[in-house]
Amino acid sequence: MEPSFWHEKWNLQHIGFHQQDINPFLVQYWQELSLPADAQVFVPLCGKSLDMCFLAEQGHQVIGCELNELAVQQFFTDNQLELTQTAVGEHQHYQTEQISVYQGDIFTLPKTITQEVTAFYDRAALIAWPENMRVHYAKQLANLLPCGSIGLLVTLDYPQAALNGPPFAVSPTWVEQHLSDDFDIEVLASQDVLAENPRFTKKAVPWLNEAAYLLKRK
């Protein structure tokens, strides 16, 4: 998707992709990563996700990257977090005690920002891209992550023809075909979540699966 697409979504507050609660798979499976409390965790395309607060509550140093300035500002305002703001190259750096968010294009994010990262969390980034752009994003994610980094990937899968994304359908086959060169992959869970997603039921989408994967950067 072009940047203008996401800027318009945030400006109009058409942000159905934003979850009002912490993702259940994150709560259930994050401990599977066996991370030290002070680990640095990278969250690509983070929006104003409450999942970052959950990660910070585990003791982690959270590093997010988000394209839209309003999303970043709303995250800090909604959670009543004091912040400092500085420029880092072409990105704006918003920082509080345990959470840093770099506002700007993930494709130009300097690798120096993530060089000490040992973990990552992708709930809404991979599924935000149509298939023709998804591989490019996946390669950039791998490029930003040091070898040995471990992460939790959450995806959605459904018959793509039944609904225009985003979120876009990402199948287990796609994950294996396109991520296995850079990551070791373990399937943690897959479950039907159609009943909890009225947008999909209203469009008569026949099924909707949410899956969690444990990924390790090779």
List pLDDT tens digits, range 138-150.
999 999 999 999 9
List helix spans (H) across 66-170: 69-78, 131-144
pLDDT at 97 > cutoff 80: yes
What one-letter code names the amino acid at 98?
Answer: Q
Helix (H, G, I), strand (E, B) or coil at 119: strand
Looking only at the bridges linking them, the beta strands covering 119-122 and 91-95 are unpaired
Q: Are 123 and 161 in contact (CB under 8 A)?
A: no
Which strands form 40-44's sheet, in the order they lie side by side?
84-88, 91-95, 99-103, 61-66, 40-44, 119-122, 150-157, 209-217, 183-192
Per CATH, the homologous superfamily of domain 3-12+22-217 is: Vaccinia Virus protein VP39 (3.40.50.150)
How do residues 149-192 score in pLDDT, each as one tens digit?
999 999 999 999 999 889 999 999 999 999 999 999 999 999 99
pLDDT at 14: 53
pTM: 0.94
Cα separation, 105 vs 136, in Å, equals 13
If you write DSSP's letter for every residue of 16-75 in order, what string do you get? TTS-SS--HHHHHHGGGG---TT-EEEEET-TT-THHHHHHHTTPEEEEEES-HHHHHHH
